[in-house]
Amino acid sequence: MSVAVITDSTAYLPTGFAQRHAVQVVPLHVSVQSAEPVPEHEFDSGRLLAAWDRKQRVTTSGASVGEFAAAYREALSAGADGVVSIHLSRRLSGTWDAARLAAREVDPERVRVVDSRSTAMGLGFAALGAAESARGGASLSAVESRAALIAQRTRTLFSVQTLEHLRRGGRIGAAAAVLGTALAIKPLLHVHDGRVELLEKVRTTARAHARLLDLVCRPAEEGPVSVAIHHLAAPEWAERLAEQLRKHASAALECVVSEVGPVVGAHIGPGALGAVVLPGGWRPTA
């Protein structure tokens, strides 16, 4: 059986990974000052920062039902017997709902939609693992199950310079945002049960980064893990964290680095640094 794997652009797979592992990516969209939305891959972090510098409002939107339906039909027409479509948390975006409606429209028996309950490589690892299972000849149900299992096992952690962007986008409560501003903390957050929640209050950026390192190294000391480091306009911090991970964690550690795009970036702000940890890794075992 041939199974196609589709995800959305908030997976932020490292350069070349989507093509190498045969993962199709459906873009979400970005708009500045209510202009016509553009696909995320046409709007880089430089344009996002420039818009903020000009005090312009940046908004994001998901892919439409029609865009997902077109992707599913294309995959099935190209010879796939089924499709597994994996997306960012339904509690953070309407993307999963649009994908589910498109699946119902195209063929609900042959198109399965998975809620990663996360984003960035919390989503990306699930897509990669599903794609490798599909490449190995797994059935549609097995590929779907592999994606769901990996999504369940990932842990997504990140620090931000301010909670204001999350507050504006409605991704974290106003009370938490006010608290962060009042105490001048650099909050450490995580994605828990599909939502962004405050994990710890840290007083400085350096301490937040040190705590990230500690939280990522712990599972790496217990066995092989896949780790992704994400950032927005903070490549030096990301590379430094990746270097520290490679130094302190197990030799079996896999660590990739990628910058988040404007859809997630618009909600976390410049200087954000995060890590996605997947115990056991995403590659299927023999």
Token pair 């880089």 is found at 44
Per-domain boundaries in the chain? 3-152, 155-279
In whole angstroms, how far apart are CA 14 and each of 8, 130, 240, 281?
13, 16, 17, 16
179: left (phi over 0), alpha (psi -120 to 50) or beta: alpha
SS3 for 246?
Answer: helix
The DSSP code sequence of 113-157 is EEE-SS-THHHHHHHHHHHHHHHTT--HHHHHHHHHHHHHH-EEE
Asked whether residue 168 carries a pLDDT value surpassing 80, the answer given is no
Beta bridge partners of 226: 254, 278
Range with the poorest average pLDDT among 27-36, 57-66, 180-189, 272-281: 180-189
Residue 31: its H or E element: strand 29-32
Residues 86-100: what's their mean pLDDT?
Answer: 96
Nearest by Cα to 132 from 47, 249, 17? 17
Tokens 């797994």 belong to 138
Q: What is the pLDDT of residue 181?
A: 59
Residue 206: pLDDT band with limits 50, 70, 90: very high
Give 179's pLDDT tier (boundaries 50, 70, 90).
low
Q: What CATH number was assigned to the domain covering residues 155-279?
A: 3.30.1180.10
Q: What is the pLDDT of residue 169?
A: 67
Q: Note every long-range contact of 247-250, with CB atoms under 8 Å and residues 24 or more positions apart, other chains counting.
A: 248/213, 248/217, 249/216, 249/217, 249/220, 249/221, 249/225, 250/220, 250/221, 250/223, 250/224, 250/225
CA distances in angstroms from 63 to 21, 68, 120, 217, listed in the order given: 22, 7, 16, 35
Cα–Cα–Cα angle for 153, 154, 157, rounded to 5 degrees: 145
pLDDT at 251 over 60: no
For the segment 271-282, the average pLDDT, to the nearest whole number, is 94
Residue 59: left if φ>0, alpha if ψ -120 to 50, beta else—which one? Answer: beta
Q: Phi then psi for 201, rounded to 5 degrees?
A: -100, 120
Q: Is 3.40.50.10170 the CATH classification of the domain at 3-152?
A: yes
